[in-house]
């Protein structure tokens, strides 16, 4: 759920930096808006790509690996063997 806010956050930060840069350097208003639009579109796309990569990495970490964890059937067999030995 939190992954959906990554792209807009990156886009807005890049837009703020671009706006500050335009104001400090005294860029013409129309030229500044053109740059801002280009930066917003570009960083939104980059943010979407970053969000997908982060989502895949976190999903791979959360997915249990069946080879490392005990299988419930193995636990049943162990308990049945322990009961038979008693």
Q: Where are the domains of the chain?
A: 2-85
Measured distance CA(25)–CA(21) in Å, rounded: 6
Global model pTM greater than 0.75? no
Better pLDDT: 81 or 22:
22
> What confidence score (pLDDT) does residue 66 get?
54
Confidence of residue 24 (pLDDT cuts 50, 70, 90): very high
Token output for 30: 């129309």
HSE, CB side, 13 Å, CA atoms: give it for residue 10: 16
pLDDT above 90 coverage of the chain, percent: 53
Confidence of residue 80 (pLDDT cuts 50, 70, 90): low
């Amino acid at each position: 759920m939190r992954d959906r806010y990554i792209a807009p956050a990156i886009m807005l930060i890049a837009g703020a930096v671009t706006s500050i840069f335009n104001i400090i350097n005294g860029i013409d208003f129309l030229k500044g808006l053109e740059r801002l639009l280009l930066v917003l579109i570009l960083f939104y796309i980059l943010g979407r790509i970053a969000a997908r990569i982060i989502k895949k990495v976190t999903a791979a970490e959360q997915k249990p690996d069946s080879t490392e964890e005990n299988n419930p059937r193995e636990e049943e067999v162990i308990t049945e063997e322990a009961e038979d030995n008693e």
